[in-house]
Amino acid sequence: MSTITVSEQRCPGCGDDKFAEIANVMDLYRGKEGSLIQVLHRAQEIYGCLPLELQTYIASRMDLPVSEVSGVVTFYSFFSTKPRGKHTIRVCLGTACYVRGGKKIVESLKEKLGVDIGGTTEDGLFTFEVARCIGACGLAPAMMIDGTVYKQVNVNRLDSILAKYRNE
């Protein structure tokens, strides 16, 4: 397998310093069985997402097939191949939340944010996702922004909830 150097393989907007930091992470895990997921988590923290160019770089440095790295990235919903917003909004669509108005919250957020599910707002502030269950069934309908759970959400509360993150 050919080695790809930082200068040969570059992500858009991913400078040498980010590559060097990701390379250091891979060096820490070198030779440790099953370390790919940890490396990918850390690489996403550093770069913000895992585009194919970065996956190729990681595969080369870890002496893995690109298909294996890409398979892990696409299998786990935590990983993203596109830039994500500063904040991640997840609306629960588990049974309790769906029945109690989760779908209305999704439709309202799509309109307020101007993005579809899986999209990131133009200003880069929010990435909008749905979750099958966030474990807050007794608080339905629920949504999370980053690690904060909002309970018994309704469309009338959305503007005030979003304002907290827009005004920080």
Q: Which residue has the higher pLDDT, 95 or 21?
A: 95
pLDDT above 80: residue 97: yes
Q: Please give the span between the terminal C-alpha atoms of the chain, in angstroms, as a whole number.
A: 47
> Which has the closest alpha carbon to 35: 44, 25, 45, 21?
25
pLDDT one-digit tens code per residue, 53-79: 999 999 999 999 999 999 999 998 778
**What is the bridge-based pairing of β-strands 143-145 and 126-131?**
unpaired
Q: How many CB atoms lie within 10 A of CB 43?
A: 26
The mean pLDDT value for 144-165 works out to: 96
pLDDT above 60: residue 11: no
What pLDDT does residue 16 have? Answer: 66
| 3-state SS, residue 88 | strand
Average pLDDT, the chain: 88
What pLDDT does residue 113 have? Answer: 97
HSE-CB of 159 using CA atoms within 13 angstroms: 1
pLDDT above 50: residue 10: no
Instruction: Name the amino acid, one letter, at 36.
Output: L
What pLDDT does residue 7 have? Answer: 36
What pLDDT does residue 2 have? Answer: 38
The Cα 63–Cα 58 span in angstroms is 8
The Cα 19–Cα 28 span in angstroms is 14
| 3-state SS, residue 139 | helix
Sorting pLDDT into bands at 50, 70 and 90, what band is 32? confident
The Cα 95–Cα 135 span in angstroms is 11
pLDDT one-digit tens code per residue, 114-148: 999 989 999 999 999 999 999 999 999 999 999 89
User: Which backbone phi and psi does 70 adopt, to 5 degrees?
Assistant: -65, -40
What pLDDT does residue 12 have? Answer: 47
